[in-house]
Amino acid sequence: MYGFRSLKLSLRFVLPLVAALGLLAFAVVPLVDRLTLRWSVRDMDMRSRLITSTLQEPLLEMLPQNDRQKITKLLQRATQDERLLAVGFCNQEQKLVYRTPAFPADISCGSIRDDSEKTLHLVNLPQGPVHVSVNTIEENGTQIGSLVLVHDMSYMVRRSADTRKYVILLFIVLGVVVSMITVFVAHLSWHGWMEGVRAMLRGEGIVKPFAQPAVASELQPLVSDLKTLMRSLDAERRMADDSTITWSPDTLRKLLHKQLTGEKIIVVSNREPYIHSKVDGEIQVHRPASGLVTAVEPVMRACSGTWIAHGGGDADRETVDAGDRVMVPPSKPEYNLRRIWLTKEEEKGYYYGFSNEGLWPLCHIAHVRPTFRTSDWEQYVKINQRFADAVVTEADSDNPVVLVQDYHFALLPGMIRKLLPKATIITFWHIPWPNPESFGICPWREELLKGMLGSTILGFHTPYHCKNFLETVDRYLETRIEHESSTVSRRGQLTLVESYPISIQWPPPWQGTLPPAEQTRSEILAALGLPPDHLLGIGVDRMDYTKGILERFNAVERMLELHPELVGRFTFIQIAAPSRSALEEYQAFEARLHALEERINQRFTTNDHPAIILKAEHHEPDQVTRYYRAAQVCMVTSLHDGMNLVAKEYVAARDDERGVLVLSQFTGAANELYEALIVNPYHVEQTAEALYEGLTMPEYEQQERMRSMRTQVRDFNVYRWAGRMLLDAARVRQREKLAVRIAQN
């Protein structure tokens, strides 16, 4: 089989080559023929002139004597030259007066008179081709006749045949040699290429991303393409595998048990999933408004283990044990929450300062300038170290699986790696990653990148953020980046940089426990003092300038300007959970938002039906869900957002398959929820029209869109998000174990 394939390969190279050489020979042979003829004729011509000048003197002496015998003898002697066939003398009257016996009868002085100027004359006679040359004989400048020399040219025919034979032979030899070389080189290259492809198929291209290239450098681009293809096929295969399973807490538990031998999971985040605080002297617990908590908490409940976070509630200390731990959720304890205490000064520098005045605006392109202070940086380093030490305390083996969450902990992976070199560290960056130029603003950019590269796996929401990160590393650090396998190697530490779009719990925790959406709408409208047929829009965010809330309000105002029939018939409810309100930027933002709400309501409030209701306070998840179920339209208009889970929560809340999602193109969610009305929130008219379209969309269309989005959120739920990361982590761990075993043998 290989022999046949190799013959086919050879023929593929050789046949065109032979055809090209044949064509070339076909064109070259007549050309060579013509050239040799021209050179021979030129030779004959010169010889003729030479013979004429030799004969001229004796001829001039003999001509006056008119001695025919003597003259003929002289001419006869000249024809002893083997090529000179005959010589004749024509007088001024063009009469052939003397000639040697072999002078062809077909040639007469008259017949060549017209061409006498020419030195070159070929004539085909019955006995063969001849060259006829006519040369003037002069005495003292007066022409007294001309000498006609006839050369035999039959040798030319022989020479031409020989030349043709040799040229063809030359082309054949050339063809054979060139074909052999081509086939030899082609086979060598083919062999190398096949080896490279086989190596990849054996998984070496992916498993050993930093191995020396197995194929010739000129074939590297092809190999790169193949590797990329393999990766995407691998990813698709994994997705197909994944999609055959319904991802649930149970699948995640089984995965942990089978693939990670039941390792204990340690999650690290700044924000804690349950906050204890005192209200009127009584301890209450609440869930913070945080996409991170929404996503990671169900995973943690499925996997159990320990969640390390900042204890920020004013009753947090009262609810922990001696090891600063408390079992949560309070209603059904499933995992440990380990609280880390920060002083006001530490929180100011690490959280408000470096994380939220520095990294937050740095990573979100939302037109707020980042601020970097050395004192904040120092706190950031100090607190990251404190959390790293806590990880060591909480780990019950030397190779725990640690899930590091978000931009508050860029240094943590590197610090954990130092303390627990064998740990599997999965870092997830919940916010966007900017381009290298933007990130370059940060005075501690190298330190942050080095810290992050302590991770085994570094996850972002989108491939675009991964690309930005790899480009940033490439710009500022000495590393080896393998784009095909999306890995970075620095000082022997390999980090897989991959996109893992985050999601929410499915089925939602309240599934089957809530009244029908219609009923919820009626209740909410009644509570707000609005008529039963009033239209509602909803926005749910932290009070943050990246969320595009001002832009959203402007769009509401514009929509009412463009469609006045909806004035007094539509209200937009904005839930804005207080966030980072110690920062001036956030205080100013909140003030602007209130002012805008007031101005719009002054213009458009009719019959006590306001255009906008701004609820700037914390709402528990069940309350938020009720608003989702009541609103005809949900608006997510972030100016820049890693994923935005509000979009997915709204979809999950609509088990009635009604409602329309207006979604900013600058969210990660826009890459998944295609059936939303995608808008550019900076374009006020476009957003206003999308809102109007949502409010007036026919039910069947709402249903089609919502059904499709629900399928997406169901299949790509948060268990799948965590599962994919843990599966990748398990693969890396297995590979590392294998490498150690190979090294020991």
Binding residues vs ligand F6P (CB under 6 A): 271, 290-292, 406, 430-431, 542, 579-580
Residue 146 φ then ψ, to 5°:
-145, 150
Work out how close the CB of 289 gets to ligand F6P at its nearest, in angstroms, rounded to a whole number: 7
Residue 273 or 659 having the CB closest to ligand F6P:
273
Count CB-CB contacts under 10 A for residue 439: 22
Work out how close the CB of 271 gets to ligand F6P at its nearest, in angstroms, rounded to a whole number: 4
Residue 301 or 461 having the CB closest to ligand F6P:
461
Residue 291 or 414 having the CB closest to ligand F6P:
291
Work out how close the CB of 291 gets to ligand F6P at its nearest, in angstroms, rounded to a whole number: 4
CA distance linking residue 68 with residue 74, whole number of Å: 10
Residue 357 or 394 having the CB closest to ligand F6P:
357
Contacts of 176 (CB under 8 A, 6+ apart): none
Task: Tell whether the torsion through CA atoms of 597, 600, 601 and 602 is positive or negative.
Answer: positive
Of 577, 625, 616, 569, the residue nearest 597 (C-alpha): 616
CA distance linking residue 589 with residue 361, whole number of Å: 14
HSE value, Cβ hemisphere, 13 Å, CA-based, for 609: 18
Work out how close the CB of 406 gets to ligand F6P at its nearest, in angstroms, rounded to a whole number: 5
Contacts of 465 (CB under 8 A, 6+ apart): 429, 432, 433, 499, 642
Residue 640 or 733 having the CB closest to ligand F6P:
640
Residue 156 or 583 having the CB closest to ligand F6P:
583
Work out how close the CB of 645 gets to ligand F6P at its nearest, in angstroms, rounded to a whole number: 8
Q: State which amino acid sits at residue 118.
A: K
Work out how close the CB of 674 gets to ligand F6P at its nearest, in angstroms, rounded to a whole number: 23
Q: State which amino acid sits at residue 366.
A: A
User: E strands within 298-432?
Assistant: 306-310, 325-328, 335-340, 401-405, 424-428
Work out how close the CB of 282 gets to ligand F6P at its nearest, in angstroms, rounded to a whole number: 24
Work out how close the CB of 325 gets to ligand F6P at its nearest, in angstroms, rounded to a whole number: 21
Residue recorded with tokens 């159990």: 304
CA distance linking residue 300 with residue 309, whole number of Å: 13
Which residues partner with 661 through β-bridges? 634
CA distance linking residue 695 with residue 677, whole number of Å: 12
Work out how close the CB of 234 gets to ligand F6P at its nearest, in angstroms, rounded to a whole number: 29
Work out how close the CB of 189 gets to ligand F6P at its nearest, in angstroms, rounded to a whole number: 51
Residue 90 or 340 having the CB closest to ligand F6P:
340
- 731 CB-contact burial (10 Å; exposed 0-12 / middle 13-18 / buried 19+): middle
CA distance linking residue 662 with residue 670, whole number of Å: 10
Residue 7 or 582 having the CB closest to ligand F6P:
582
Of 636, 649, 706, 646, the residue nearest 507 (C-alpha): 649
Closest residue to ligand F6P in the complex (CB): 292
Residue 131 or 287 having the CB closest to ligand F6P:
287
Residue 146 or 384 having the CB closest to ligand F6P:
384
